[in-house]
Homo-oligomer: A and B are copies of this chain.
């Protein structure tokens, strides 16, 4: 079995992004945060650190876990209108009563580097230029990097979230895969997933995908980032069990994650240089 690591690819994307960032105006990413969630704050710090390494300015705008939806919307509208800001993302989770989908409509689509605005998703689905969510784009980038054929093949996505499962289904369709989307209400999940030549697990449930879910030789991409008791991360795929069946498998951590961050920065550098 081949382990599909994301580190080399992430490093290559970062290097290219750094060159793009150095060639024009310095790109600036603004990340709006309204949570005390430790894992989320850790992720935001890791974005800021990676941005610095790529020559991209990163402003973390922390509204605190008590921020009102209106205040978040106003902040997103202000940053959307600010010509100094090229990329803009809203970190989740949000305070109770705040809807990420509704608030993301306040992000200028030209700055929507994490593809959160419903208009970006619609444009993606309609085949028009748009930034896809970085995680969904990272899955495609990993498949391409490891030269996994998609046209005409059966791809199964487990998870129907607006940020991963649904946009990913459109990206895979656009590459001519036959695409199935499964979710918590799918009956006999293993019967469906074991038909996949390319299987993407994005359900957010640790160990959901075991050996019985995977066809011999399948390519398996694990998008899960579930916290473990010891403060680490684990995927949706039981790595040990599935590695005995799959043809190729991404690790967690070190698979989709680093590519996601690298692509968020690439999108920011490109947003800074849109015509």
List residues of A whose CB falls within 8 A of some B CB. 101-102, 117-128, 151-154, 160, 162, 166, 169-170, 173, 176, 178-183, 185-187, 192
What is the count of identical protomers in the complex? 2
Q: Is the CB of A181 within 8 A of B178?
A: yes
Q: Is the CB of B192 within 8 A of A162?
A: no
In the bound complex, residues from chain B placing their C-beta under 8 Å from that of A162 are: 125-127
Residue of B118, B154, B192 touching A178 (CB-CB under 8 A): B192
In the bound complex, residues from chain B placing their C-beta under 8 Å from that of A102 are: 128
From A121, which residue of chain B is reached at the shortest CB distance?
A: B122
Q: Is the CB of B125 within 8 A of A166?
A: yes
- The docked-state distance in angstroms from the alpha carbon of A102 to that of B170 is 18
Known pairs A122-B124, A125-B162, A173-B181; list 18 more (Cβ under 8 Å): A101-B126, A117-B122, A118-B122, A118-B125, A121-B122, A122-B122, A122-B123, A125-B166, A127-B162, A151-B185, A152-B185, A152-B187, A154-B192, A169-B169, A173-B183, A178-B182, A178-B185, A179-B180
In the bound complex, residues from chain B placing their C-beta under 8 Å from that of A126 are: 101, 118, 121, 162, 166
